[in-house]
Amino acid sequence: MHGFYAIPVIDLTSVLKKCLDSLNDTGIALVGLANRNSFYITFYEQYLNCIHSGDGDGFTSAEDIMDALMILDVPYQIKSIIYEERIDVDDYASLSHYIINESTINSFNKDEDLIDIPMSEHITLEEVLSHKQLQGFLQSFIRGSAYYFPQEIQLISFGNLSAYPFFFES
């Protein structure tokens, strides 16, 4: 399942409770989500601040999932997957796709008719780069002739963790 980035933090406990309730006795749930140090999260915060004057909710992070599980008193385990997304500086199409489609598209508006939350399909990479703060932020990830966008994904597991001990061994 994908899409936890777009679930408002206020709804996380009820969503995770439904996920937990849908598991059978030996089931586990796995949620892979970027933490707050990852590019997906930090870029979207910059995007909201620069393009939309801070309006809109940021992406849900792995830490938000863990906080909600703690509120529910649900034990969980985490494993980290750390990598850098590399995109050549001169590969405009890939950069545009990564910035616009992958790093901003998950806007969520459960009250669609009441609140206008801007969607990234209405923005281009040119517009993003026209904002000096965003341009500088993106340039800070250039090393040599490529962008290196850091990601740390937390694989969060919960449910009957004892049913799969081999999965959780280091």
Would you give per-residue pLDDT tens digits along the chain (170 residues)? 457 888 889 999 999 999 999 999 889 899 999 999 999 899 999 999 888 777 777 889 999 999 999 999 999 999 999 999 999 999 999 999 899 888 886 544 444 444 444 444 568 899 999 999 999 999 999 999 999 999 999 999 998 877 776 665 65
Question: 41: which 2 tokens?
Answer: 């999260």
Domain 4-168 CATH class label: alpha beta
Torsion of CA 127, 132, 133, 134, to 10 degrees: 30
Alpha-carbon gap, residue 165 to 170, rounded angstroms: 10
Answering whether pTM is above 0.85, one says no
Domain positions in the chain: 4-168
According to DSSP, residue 38 is labeled: S
